[in-house]
Amino acid sequence: MVMQRALILGAAGRDFHNFNVFFRDNADYQVVAFTATQIPNIAGRRYPPALAGQRYPEGVPIEAEDDLPTMIRDRHVDVVVFSYSDISHEYVMHRASEALAAGADYLLLGPRHTMLRARVPIVAVCAARTGSGKSQTTRRVATLLKEAGHRVVVVRHPMPYGDLAAQAVQRFASATDLDRHRVTIEEREEYEPLIGAGHVVYAGVDYERILRQAEAEAQDVLALLDALGLDAVDYVGTSMGGLTAMALARKAAGDNFILMADANQGYSREEAIRFAQKAGVKIPMRKD
């Protein structure tokens, strides 16, 4: 098969995912560019080499979608891959007409080639357009699952306004994490309510790496204890280790643990205790 030259139409989200899981290591295709729409300040940048892989040592350019027929002809594109949402069926097929008239094939990748297989149960919160209430629904579903005794990790699609390589995998568990990752106001509005309710939030560009890291929450320490043959230990954790301690307490320790908290991460002791209690952790309280 002759290598096909592909142009991925996107909005800095599903397009990057499609590239990562289908095109990045696929010798049958050479991705010549992404296009950009909907998200400001994306066009003119590059999908970085650190994410694009060995076949793309200079990364992949991201260009505005303004003149699709000209881009297809100038870049000798064989196949146009539509990879974004929040638009009408008419719009999708109008882009198809432009691609076909310019001589290219038109492709929509399906679940078989793009869905990730998870080792833990997943609840997907989806909608046909922006503003449908996905954020509120996610917060409610996460709360109900936690109240039912489940360990919940929230994964949110990326808002790639910054350094894409640095945003490959992001983990938010405290107010300090929001500052460290230099999130935008829009991102802070999304993450703060979830963090305030005691949820860990993952976001970023590389969904597969995010999924694998989210699956591993609170499992690594248990695996280590099993490997060492230890039935009982005293566990002391700070920062991320403290969050892992709470997950371990909920999962494996029963009533045989003590939770200690400080305010170093921007939360008071009372707030930390409240988060833990919402997660079902029983905390023996000192009267002094």
Position 214 pLDDT exceeds 90:
no
Query: Which of 20-29, 195-204, 255-264 holds the top average pLDDT?
Result: 20-29
**Range 65-89 burial, b when 16+ CB lie within 10 A, else e:** beebeebbeebebbbbbbbbeebee
pTM higher than 0.85, yes or no? no
Distance of alpha carbon 80 from alpha carbon 106, whole angstroms: 5
Residue-wise pLDDT tens digits, 251-287: 565 555 555 554 444 455 666 666 666 656 555 555 5
Q: Do the bridges between strand 46-47 and strand 60-64 make them parallel or antiparallel, or are there none, so unpaired?
A: antiparallel
Residue-wise pLDDT tens digits, 90-100: 999 999 999 99
Mean pLDDT lowest for which of 27-31, 146-150, 202-206, 238-242?
Answer: 238-242
- Shortest CA distance to 92 belongs to which of 107, 103, 105, 82? 82
Mean pLDDT of 227-249: 64
- Which domains, from first to last, does the chain contain? 4-114 (3.40.50.720), 134-215 (no CATH), 220-278 (no CATH)
Quote the pLDDT of residue 276: 62
Position 238 pLDDT exceeds 90:
no
Sign of the CA dihedral with 189 first, then 195, 201, and 204 last: positive
Quote the pLDDT of residue 73: 96
Position 219 pLDDT exceeds 60:
yes
CB 258 within 8 A of CB 282: no
Position 244 pLDDT exceeds 80:
no
